[in-house]
Amino acid sequence: MNSPVPVFRETSAEPRTESVAFAHLSLEIGHLYMEDFVEGPDRLRHHFASVRPWVDAVRAGLSTQLAEGRPRVSTCFLIDDYFSRLSTPAELVPPLVDAAAEAGLTIDYLARESGCAIAPGADRVPVRLAESVLHRLVESPPPDSSAFRPPVSRTGWLSNGRRAPTQRSSPAMDFEGAGWQPPSETGARGHSVFLDVELWSGTGEQRLWSCAFLASVWQLVRLGLLRDDGRAVLTPVPSDAGELPTEWDAMPPVLRLNPRAAPFTAYLTCSVLPGRFLPIEHAVRVILDQVHVEAEPLRQVAERSGSENFAVPAGIAERTSYVFPPGL
């Protein structure tokens, strides 16, 4: 009988996927533009006063999904420092935290939107998060199509179905309705809601990521599904008692304001947002439906949530939910 042949394998050949801690829910209680902050403290007070009843409702609803124990919920707030910078962290953050406290809310984690584009990495090497998610997109070809169209990596546009043909036969045929075909949504129920999402504008170093695409990265980070060469990304940094910086780039992309907060990453996310974000979040779901997520982070979520008997949907987009309060 032959002895088994020993197999030697380099440790470096087996990349390790870093684990992250999970709350049950990551609850976003705001995503405001710099222009919103310019309106002053009353704007912030109105925002959190409008958000508070819905935060309570979301927390109560989550409790019904748990067989036992209290739900682990962390709150977060996303500040747009990517498209404009009309103020500084030192000027903006304290009034924001105070306005939330007046409404009985705690901001556990404060995040910068620019971190969803480029984040600090190991050895100070920047991690191009948005670009890495772009490379993970797997377009879903519509049924009965040849799948012949420029890839999203070249066009910067991603759709949820079949676009209307661009070739025209003749003006006469167009007039008669014979030369035109409507776009159609893949998997439409009865009627289509077709969406074509712009992921960026500009080229090269001048590329500007769209709000919808950065929001998709934001959701993937909160769900604990992104890694950089196996390492966790946008790991929260505890805030200290010192003064906040006067430059946004000097502030960590995710700052933990509450030392007793539940984990930043969670099995599910919910975002309480102004109604103007509704079309953007529709686009986010289209993007999330076509992102290929690595197997190991998915396995970690399934294993952890399963051990808690906490149901997590298989689809990534289905792990996200939204509330759009009236008048917000």
pLDDT digits (tens, 9 = 90+) for 108-158: 999 999 999 998 876 778 899 999 999 999 987 666 555 556 788 888 999
Average pLDDT score over residue span 256-260: 95
Single-letter residue type at 261: A
Say if residue 5's pLDDT is above 60.
no
pTM score of the predicted model: 0.89
Single-letter residue type at 194: F
Domain of 264, in residue numbers: 15-135+207-323
87 or 324, which is more confident?
Answer: 324
For the chain, how many structural domains are there in total? Answer: 2
Pair (171, 284) in one structural domain: no
Per-residue pLDDT tens for 286-318? 999 999 999 999 999 999 999 999 999 999 999
Pair (190, 216) in one structural domain: no
Q: Is residue 6 part of a domain?
A: no
- Residue 263 near residue 23, CB atoms below 8 Å: yes
- Strand partners of residue 137: 291
CB atoms within 10 A of CB 97: 18
Q: Is residue 8 part of a domain?
A: no
Per-residue pLDDT tens for 76-99? 999 999 998 888 899 999 999 999
The Cα 300–Cα 306 span in angstroms is 10
Q: Is residue 328 part of a domain?
A: no
Tokens of 318: 């289905």
Average pLDDT score over residue span 42-60: 95
Q: What are phi and psi of 7, to 5 degrees?
A: -115, 125
Q: Is residue 144 part of a domain?
A: no
Average pLDDT score over residue span 248-263: 95
Average pLDDT score over residue span 184-190: 85
Q: Is residue 10 part of a domain?
A: no
